[in-house]
Each structure stands twice: as structure tokens, then as C-alpha cells.
Amino acid sequence: MARPKKPVSHDAGGPSASRGPAYQTYFAIYQTLELIVRHFAAPHKALAIRIEPRVVHRESGSVTAWDVWIEADAIAWEAKLNVTRRDVIEWLQRIENTGEPKAPTKFGLVYGQTITPLLAALERFHRVAVECEGDDQKFDILAIDTERLSVISSALGPGFRDHLRQMVFLPVPEPVLRKIVEDRAMYLAGADSNRLVAFLFKTFSEGAAQRQQYKIADLCERIQNDGINMSPPARFVLADVPVKPREAIMALAVCQSGLPRQALAAMLGLEPSAMETELRPFILHGLIVEEGDILRAAASYPEQEAPSPHLAAVWLDPLLTWLMDNETLGSSASVARGALSLAKRALQHRPGLSLKFFQATEHAVKNLGDKHLLLEISELCIHSANDPSPLDRDLKAMAKAQAMLCGHSWVWQRTGRRSEARMMAEKSEQLGEDIGWRRNTAFAKKCVARIDRVEAEHSGNGAQRDTLLSASATKLHAAIGIFSQLSDFGPNSRQVGDCHSLLARTQLVAGDLDGATESLRDAHNILLPAATKEYFDLLILTGDIEIAKDHPEAAEDHYTKVIGEHVSGNREISEICARAHFKRGQLRAKRAKKVSAADDFDRAAETWHSLDEPALAADAEWARLQLDSRLDHAVLRSFLTVEPVLIRVAAVREYQARLQSMKVVARRAIPTKSQVEQLAKDARKRMAEEHPEW
């Protein structure tokens, strides 16, 4: 019998799951729904879940606290919406304090987002430890990232290799976790799914303080007594399911965000119509959930196993081909996340597939704007490429070079870590040279040239600035020469045009207006009008050069053209549009067009906030504050020494808020130096919590 398709409210059971405690509660609900499925399949088993449990070390008597304890599996879970480096180290220390490294207890970490490379390294070491099966010598040979291993082993203690094998990792972004909960609730309760989630949310939220244990059999009885109808799911033996539907169910269980029908069909090697026919019975019985074009597994099932590395590789290859052909679709982000989940197993069997994996996921993830996810993908590719076997040696080297350049270096440039970005780009260039990969050499020179120019812009040393700008120009000329000679590009390719654009920018910063004008002309001859990042960057640069020539009307026209032709949906283009608003706002402010300038700064800040770029948004907000007639400029000047601008803006906002309750005359009061210092200190603490560093 088909289950009714009733949407589950995102507010079911409690507050938004956008905060850590609610994320923890939703994870407890997710685990409980999984246990209920297992209870229906084997009611004789004693299944239970405990919220906020405490574990006592058998020998030392030390006590550690956890978020969720699954007794049947002996797993102590920690749930983190955003994982910082400090969170990871504290988790490792708790593991070390909990018990013997060879005990059957496991330690799980479920997280919505990772903001530290240490976690990706930890997952790699875990996989190596599992592979080595207690062979310490083999582990020491394969675990090559000694710097991060030193941090991890220090936190875990002398039994760190065994502790690594005890770990379980479950990356589940908050929106995906909510969807999983909805799917499993619908699978179990149909029309009562909303009420089921609300009941569990209320139960766990109220019982957390008591660190209560919930026996699943008792919980099911309470749910039924509350008038919530749960029907035991359809009984079936996964081994008896035909091969392709069984593989679909297994694959969707791994790719928890779900997959578009076309992507799943490509992955399984089926025509979409044939796949639809094979999966229809499982969809009708609620075993597979359909939401528009996306298919997801309704629940995991008893006796369901994870795919072998070989099978995961068989699936991953065609899935990556589909992603390469469809990277601009809205569903590409969920496919990229699914590909990452598969790659963690597949690359153990086919490490050379890491090149295709990075190339297929890079642009989808960059458009998503998730720098953390890109870094995780890059880390995995580099680790897989370090596989010492002769298998796919060239592909592994190329994967490592591209991941270091377009993954690590790209992220570090956009998070203000230019020295690390340079190091990775230069390593990539050297590796590319060693294997004769000229394409990579051209991209690496272009990348380092940009870093040179940005560092020159931040340099207070005149001689160093000149040296950096000269080096930037030299590298860009070299990149132009290499791209022009490559058959995949040529002298009129977008990459050559973009290099001319970057060269013009370098020359403009150097004060060479004639040279910048000539390079700008070369760029315009290649980059014809189109809705591309390169062309919009060129228009902004053209506006900047017009300002240098004292042509403000022409400059504003170019910024306006970028804004007018902006199409939402592409993150890179949206970021460029924000820059155009910011540039136009600066120009209008200088020309005393305060109202329109303020509007530009507001739009720039709004866009950058939506793209999770708080530092850039703060630049726009600071410019906007300077146009606010309600603020005494002497007040703003008193905050000028507060750096960075993100902290400065937060401190000013707090000062404004504190003045709201005062008399009108007092609202123009100039803060004292000690007040500014305290406001900055408070703002720094608040920003550290809201925007953790990498």
C-alpha cells in the first residue's frame, strides 16, 4: 500500500535546527527513528538510546559527557553543527579519557559543517588505521602527514592507533539532517509524521537535563498512546531484492542528500525509463522517497551493508561523468556531496580516480560557496594521490597537483592565508613541472601572479611592492605564452584573455596606466560580452581604469553594466555583482551621491552576507556607516584603530545599540578609549563564536 505524501513542517517539534542544541536533538531523533525500524524487524532485541550520557573510565574513574549513546551499538556520539579545531581536539581528549583503546566502544562524531582541515586529516588516519588492522609499522609508513598526526596522537595518548579504529564519522549538513528525519518519520508514521517528530523533539528536549535512557520498546508504546499511528515498515530481505534496486537503495543510503533520477540512472548504468520501472514498487511502498526529481532512501535497513570499495568505484566513475556534464544544475551540489561520500570508499580501490573526482566536483562546490567542503575534497584527493602503489601513478600526481592548486591554494587565498596559498601553488607548479603537465604550470603561474599582486597591495615596503608587482607581471606573461601554445586553449582562449585582464590589474596597481590600458585592450579583444566571471571581472577593471583616467561617468557605466547583466544562481557572478555595487557606491560617495551610494553599500553587504563572506560584508557596512548622518563622524573616528573591519563594525553596532535607551543628546557622545577597547574585546569574542577561524 502506498504511503501518503504529506510534507513535514520544518518547525515540527521545536525551534529552528539552525542552532547547535537543536542539531543535537534532531540527530537523536534520527537515531531513534533508525532504532524503531530495527525494533520492528527484531522486537526481541533490547534497544535503547540515552541523551546527554556520562561515561565513567573503568580504571581512572574520570567522567566524560557525550550527546547521544546508542547502547546496542556501544557508540557514544558527539553532535556538532560547526566543528572547529578546538572541538576536534576536545573530542579526542574525551576519547582518551573514556576507556581502553582496545575496548569495543566506538566514538562517533556527527557534524553539519567542518571548518578545520584537522578533521579531514583525522578521518584519513582513521581509514588508514582500519586498513592496517593493528599493524603499527604499516600504519606509520602510510600515515605521512606527521604534523597533524602529532597533534592527534598527543590528544589521544599512546593508544592513538587503536583509538583511531574506534571512530565513526557522519557528515550531515543541517538541511540534510532535517530531510532525513522527515523521510524516516514519513516512512514510519505516514500522515502522523509531523506529530511523531514533534513528540520526539519535545521528549528529548525536556529529558536531556535528566540524562535519561529511553528504551525503544517503551518509547514506541508511549508514541502509540499519544495517538500517533506508526505502522511497521514493509518486511523484506535486502538480499532478495533485484540487483539494480538493491544497488539503488545501497547507493542512496550512502548519498544521504539524495540524487537526481538521471544521475542515479547514470551511476547504475540504466536508462532512466528502465530505472523508473525497476524502482517504482519501492517508491510506492515508501522504501525510496521522491521529492521532485530527487530520490532518497527512506531509511536504512537491518542487514544493509556499505558498498565495497570496488563497487563504490564502479558507481563513482559514471556519477562523476554525469556531474561534469551537469555541473550548472541546481542539484549538482547534492550530487557532489554524494560523490564525496562514495569517494571515501572508492578511492581506496582506484586512487587514480581522484583526478576525475576533483575535476567533477570543483566547480559545483565553488558555486555552492562551501570552502570547507572544497577543502575536504582536496584533502581526500591529496591523500589518495599519496598512495605508494604504481597503480595510476600519473593520474595520482595530476590529482595532487590540481587539488593543491585549485583546492587548497584557492581556499587559502579567499580566507586571507596568502603565505599558505603561495606555498601550495608553488608546490603544485613544481609537481606539474616534474610530470610535464604544462596545463597545470600555466594555471599555477596565473595563481601565484595574483598572490604577488595582492601581497603588493598590502605591502608597506616600496621596494618589496615593486618586486612583487614585477614578479606578478612576469608570471602572467609566462602563463599567456603557455596557454597560447596548448591545444586545449590557444591564443584566443578565455584563459589567455583572463591573464591579460589580470596583467592590466597588476599594471594599474603599479601605476603603469599606459601598460594597463594596452593589456585591457588585449583582454577585451578576447573576452567578448557574455555572462561569465572573466567578462564581468574585466568590466569592473575597466571601470577602475576609467577612474584612474578621471572619467567617473564612464566608470559608473561599467559598474552598472555588471549589475544590470547579473543573473542570480551563480555564486561567483553574485560575488562579482556585490563588488560592482561596492565600487559604484565608493564612486557615488566621492561624487556626493549619498543616497544612491548608501543603497549600493547595503546591496553589496546583503549579497556578501548571503554568500557567507562576513569580512567583505563588513567593508560595505563600514562604508555605509560613514554615510549615516545620524552618526557623529568623531564617533566613527574613535573606532578607526580597531582591526579588522569586521570587529570594528561589530563594535560600532554594539555602541549604537547601547545608546538607543539614552537621551537624544547623549547619542552623539564620543566613546572613551577604554570604552572602545572593551567594545572591541566583546566584539572580537562574539565574532570568534559566530565566525570561527579556519
Look at residue 501 and tell me whether its pLDDT is greater than 80: yes
CB-count burial class (<10 Å; 0-12, 13-18, 19+) for 405: buried
Alpha-carbon span 613 to 69, nearest angstrom: 36
| Average confidence (pLDDT) over 358-379 | 90
CB atoms within 10 A of CB 48: 17
Look at residue 691 and tell me whether its pLDDT is greater than 90: no
| Average confidence (pLDDT) over 669-688 | 90
For residue 644, cis peptide bond before it (omega within 30 degrees of 0): yes
Bigger pLDDT: 304 or 160?
Answer: 160
Residue 472 — very low, low, confident or very high, per pLDDT cuts 50/70/90?
A: very high
Interval 535-568: pLDDT, tens = 999 999 999 999 999 999 999 999 999 999 876 6
Q: Which residues contact 105 (CB under 8 A, 6 or more apart)?
A: 74, 75, 76, 98, 99, 166
- In this structure, are residues 37 and 46 in contact, taking their beta carbons and an 8 Å threshold? no
CB atoms within 10 A of CB 374: 25
- Nearest 5°: phi and psi at 77? -100, 140
The strand pair at 106-114 and 213-215 is best described as unpaired
Spatial CA neighbour of 338 closest among 176, 469, 513: 176
pLDDT of residue 239: 67
Spatial CA neighbour of 540 closest among 512, 511, 505: 505
Residue with cell 537535563: 209
Interval 408-438: pLDDT, tens = 999 999 888 899 999 999 999 999 999 999 9
Which segment of 65-74, 101-110, 350-359, 380-389 scores lowest on mean pLDDT?
Answer: 101-110
- In this structure, are residues 468 and 476 in contact, taking their beta carbons and an 8 Å threshold? no
Q: Show the cell assigned to 384.
A: 589518495
- In this structure, are residues 640 and 602 in contact, taking their beta carbons and an 8 Å threshold? no
Q: Show the cell assigned to 580.
A: 560592482
3-state secondary structure of 295: strand
pLDDT of residue 17: 35
pLDDT of residue 636: 93
CB atoms within 10 A of CB 72: 13
| Average confidence (pLDDT) over 129-152 | 86
pLDDT of residue 242: 86
Spatial CA neighbour of 233 closest among 170, 190, 295: 190
Measured between alpha carbons, how far apart are the two ends of the chain, in Å?
Answer: 50
Alpha-carbon span 498 to 504, nearest angstrom: 10
Q: Which residues contact 423 (CB under 8 A, 6 or more apart)?
A: none
The strand pair at 75-83 and 106-114 is best described as parallel
Interval 473-488: pLDDT, tens = 999 999 999 999 999 9
- In this structure, are residues 437 and 404 in contact, taking their beta carbons and an 8 Å threshold? no
Alpha-carbon span 628 to 111, nearest angstrom: 41
Interval 180-208: pLDDT, tens = 999 989 989 989 999 999 999 999 988 87
Interval 514-533: pLDDT, tens = 999 999 999 999 999 988 88
Please indicate, yes or no, whether the overall pTM of this predicted structure exceeds 0.85: no
- Nearest 5°: phi and psi at 51? -100, 135
- In this structure, are residues 348 and 309 in contact, taking their beta carbons and an 8 Å threshold? yes
Look at residue 296 and tell me whether its pLDDT is greater than 80: yes
Alpha-carbon span 43 to 328, nearest angstrom: 47
pLDDT of residue 694: 55
Look at residue 10 and tell me whether its pLDDT is greater than 50: no
pLDDT of residue 568: 62
How far is CA 72 from each of CA 46, 68, 429, 523, rounded to the nearest angstrom? 7, 12, 51, 64
Which segment of 63-77, 295-309, 641-655 scores lowest on mean pLDDT?
Answer: 295-309
pLDDT of residue 12: 36
Alpha-carbon span 419 to 118, nearest angstrom: 19
Average pLDDT along the chain: 89
3-state secondary structure of 56: strand
Q: Show the cell assigned to 328.
A: 550548472
- In this structure, are residues 156 and 164 in contact, taking their beta carbons and an 8 Å threshold? yes
- In this structure, are residues 621 and 605 in contact, taking their beta carbons and an 8 Å threshold? yes
How far is CA 351 from each of CA 316, 347, 364, 406, rounded to the nearest angstrom? 12, 4, 21, 19
Alpha-carbon span 12 to 8, nearest angstrom: 7
C-beta pairs of 634-639 under 8 Å, 24+ apart in sequence: 634/670, 635/668, 635/669, 635/670, 635/671, 638/670, 638/671, 638/673, 638/676, 639/671, 639/676, 639/679, 639/680
How far is CA 112 from each of CA 333, 372, 374, 486, 614, rounded to the nearest angstrom? 15, 11, 15, 42, 19
Look at residue 46 and tell me whether its pLDDT is greater than 80: yes
CB atoms within 10 A of CB 458: 10
Look at residue 442 and tell me whether its pLDDT is greater than 80: yes
Interval 222-266: pLDDT, tens = 999 999 999 866 666 666 788 898 899 899 989 988 999 999 999
Residue with cell 563564536: 689
How far is CA 259 from each of CA 7, 354, 363, rounded to the nearest angstrom? 19, 21, 18
Look at residue 303 and tell me whether its pLDDT is greater than 60: no
| Average confidence (pLDDT) over 578-607 | 96
| Average confidence (pLDDT) over 506-511 | 97
